[in-house]
Amino acid sequence: MPLDKKTLLDAVKEAKAKSGEKKFIQSVELILDIKEIDMKSPEGKIQQVIELPHVTGKPNKILVVASGELALKARKAKVDKVMEKADLEGVTGKKKELRKLANNYDVFLSEAPLMPLVGRTFGPVLGPRGKLPVPVPPNADITGLIMKYRKTVVVRMRNQPIIQCSVGTVDMSEKDLVDNIQAVLRVLEGKLKRGFKNIKFAFIKTSMGKPVKIKP
């Protein structure tokens, strides 16, 4: 599977043309059909966080678990939600509230000392969703981390040899979408044993549109 920009650009343009008029901003997704891989081996269980070059039309919603100065800095950075230790203890064991938080936020950042508590509280709902919390050292640049994780995607392969991830939205430029697609493909090339030779088919698809095959 080539990283040729023109090939990807043509596929993105075609997918956008086939997206149809909708009352919401559709996502643009990259779908990969993987071949010649043992799904029971470690290489068949890919889970990778990838930072995209361009923020999408739907930036990730971020929840930060922190205390003291780090919590204050997170609020100043206008993160979507901050939970302190007391807040965390308040939802412990409340499955409905935990599921709601797990569904409402895309990325969970946790001050490192609070990670054990976050793991116990959120682990059962975040694990199956591929949203495992990211530890943050107390002296970290939380503003920079929030900016970084606004534009990350989680690429997962579980049970089926298919990888599907969002690379942006239809209101983004074709060039920015191609840059994001290439960023995902570069990481996966290193994760798959035979690189691009493990990719049988690749498609670009909008939320409601028809899949467009990327023609090598």
**Cβ atoms 88, 202 nearer than 8 A:** no
pLDDT digits (tens, 9 = 90+) for 168-200: 999 999 999 999 999 999 999 888 888 888 999
- pLDDT tens by residue, 6-21: 999 999 999 999 888 8
Q: 113 is written with which tokens?
A: 């000392």
5-57+152-213 maps to which CATH number? 3.30.190.20
Q: What is the pLDDT of residue 40?
A: 85
Domain 62-150 has CATH 3.40.710.10: no
Closest Cα to residue 203, out of 19, 3, 60, 29? 29
The structural domains of the chain, with segments of one domain joined by +, span 5-57+152-213, 62-150
Q: Which residue has the higher pLDDT, 216 or 119?
A: 119
- pLDDT, position 206: 95
Work out the average pLDDT over 24-45.
Answer: 89
Q: Percentage of the chain with pLDDT > 70?
A: 98
- DSSP structural state of residue 112: G
d(CA 133, CA 94): 18
Report the predicted TM-score, pTM, of the whole model to 2 decimal places: 0.84
In order of 22, 27, 206, 216, the CA distances from 11 in angstroms are 20, 15, 11, 11
Give pLDDT, residue 216: 62
Please give the average per-residue pLDDT across 58-80, as a whole number.
95
Tens digit of pLDDT for each residue in 83-103? 999 999 999 999 999 999 999
